[in-house]
Structure 1
Amino acid sequence: MTDNTSQAAASQPAAAMTEDLEELVLCESFSSDLQAVARSAKVVAAMGARHLGTAPDFLVIDGVTHLRWSFGTPKVLLLGHHDTVWPIGTLATHPWSVVDGVARGPGVFDMKAGLVQTFHAMAGLGSLDGITLLITGDEEVGSITSSGLIQDTARGLAAAFVMEASADGGALKTSRKGTSLYTLNVHGKAAHAGLEPEKGANAGIELAHQILAIAGMGAGATTVTPTVLSGGTTLNTVPAAATVGVDVRAAETAEQERVDAAMHALQPSVPGTHLEILGGPNRPPLEGSMSAALFALAQELAAGQGLGPLTSASVGGASDGNFTAGVGCPTLDGLGAVGGGAHANHEHVILSEMPARTALLQALIDAVR
């Protein structure tokens, strides 16, 4: 085979993946638009049916459309999502494009390229026995309707491979912080700020005390961040109510539990006010122990394929891999696209990396099922 012929043969998988990626990116799938998510699910299902030879089950939970393919006795879970953070109409300002081997467009990196790689990896296997593929429709908004589905599907399996985009430089994600989300509502008593402020119970002042207390709960790698806050009604009224949202990221379950206990132990400082604490842990941590063996396997397989040394990363952002690890399923994340700019204007995918990542996924599946 001549060099030109070899190059042409090698380019065929990349070209086919690029065509599939364009199809997915051109179907916008903003998480908060359930009709758009449903349309996207149909496009993803049709693409999967072309590659896998069978249609998925459509699982609609509270209006959100998820897809699942199952083959034989489940051993391995491939996990991804088809929703994105980009509002409908983003294509007008961030159009699909390919320039110098780099693809751009809303959701191209997070995580439509990962779905394309998954379909091509599965299509290249001799058998699909033992594989379950789950593609959810609400990952970007906290997996509210899909978390139970993910946990039930992953429980007892040998491995979960999460097709989220890679970390910088193509690194696999071997640990992720768990997330907790809270809303703290302060209830006080209104009064005229000029005539009789002493008769009020200032929820704003109480909120200030609580924000300082909450911000002090962070320790080491654990971050506790007061975020959205509001309070009061008019400039001349003692605030009767105030509220703050709290974002917590913890690398270990014990830390997540510590902060949760501290949040629920908060007490008011301003007489006449009382606190209402809503929320709690959203995703458990993906601890490094849950990915260590799979990452070592991936390194071995990558070396055998001549892919060069794999690197790993611990990240603060959560994914649905947190749920699989939380039920005891060994989990390796970040197996999707190589590129960057998730949720940002410079979101992009390096197309030449897609075939190699696809081959690595194939090898991982065959090694564990």
Structure 2
Amino acid sequence: MLDQQTIEIVKSTAPVLKEHGVTITKHFYKRMFENNPEVRQFFNHTNQKRGRQPEALANTVYAAALHIDRLEAILPAIQPALHKHKSLNIRAEHYPIVGANLLGAIQEVLGEAATPEIIDAWAKAYGVIADIFISLEEKLYDEAPWLGFKSFSIAEIIEETPEVKRFRLVANDGVVGTAVPGQYVSIQARIPGEEILHHRQYSVVETTEDGYWIAPKAEGLVSNWLHNQVIGTEIPVSAPAGEFVLEQTTRPLLLIAGGIGITPLFNMAKTAVRQGRSVTLLHAVRSMSLRPLGDELDELVNEGLQLRTHVDEVSGCLSEKQLEELDFEGHDVYTCGPNAMMETVVRVIPNARYEFFGPSANLVQA
């Protein structure tokens, strides 16, 4: 528990963190990668360059300052990070590294404004926050079918579109755990010419008896590397993770996908259709030739899926007007796709659940 003085000091820093948070977190990552290069492998350096990861962390730190006296308020917001940490095998010993570099970054960016009292208060606050993360992540590890990464092999490759391939990954020890529809696995890539291991998360399109199907789009370092692999390639894979999952209800289901955002929603659609639920899936694409999992979706139509495919050659997204025409009252609604489209979806359908490919961000709903 934090004492009242510490709480008041931390809360008083919220305005400064709101203004300078991204500057602090950018410096934090630079500092940490220089001081502790062993943790570089856990981070997507494309998102680092684009500023997505520093922005996501800045939002988390700011929220922690605002709610330090009732941290339970931010628990829903940190669930994606907890599952991402599980998929990357982040452990308790990594948290002191983050804490030391975060406090150092605050001190170095804010200078004299970061008084000893402020640094001490944030050190105490970080300790409490880290303990919460570690405790919650331990529960996730306890539920996992295996810890860390283990060896899988590529058993089958299907070219879905010129941009997307589907890979069947088979566990070399024969032991797998079922991915709840919507979950993902992390793969570990050792890429020639790269100094560090790289990790990326891919939605599980289907769980098989001996592994998983994933369907990555060829964009980014790891996905392009994966597209160049052949049958028999061994790849370390994590246990399934992710909190964007299909709820087991009898309510009708409305799924709204944009492009490759179909991958987590496909498993939801297939599972729900076979459970006898009413399922409507809207899939926006730039062209029919670029429709991932198209044949599989058409097969689900024969089983009862209500499928609507929308082609927009420019955006590959659904418009606000099209969304407003939907009958979504009484439905469970899930969406995944470009952030701009998801912003529109949650503005029209505020209770829609959504999934980011990459660090969580703030969706602008007004």
TM-score w.r.t. structure 1 length? 0.25
Structure with a larger share of its residues in helix: 2
Structure ranking higher in strand proportion: 1
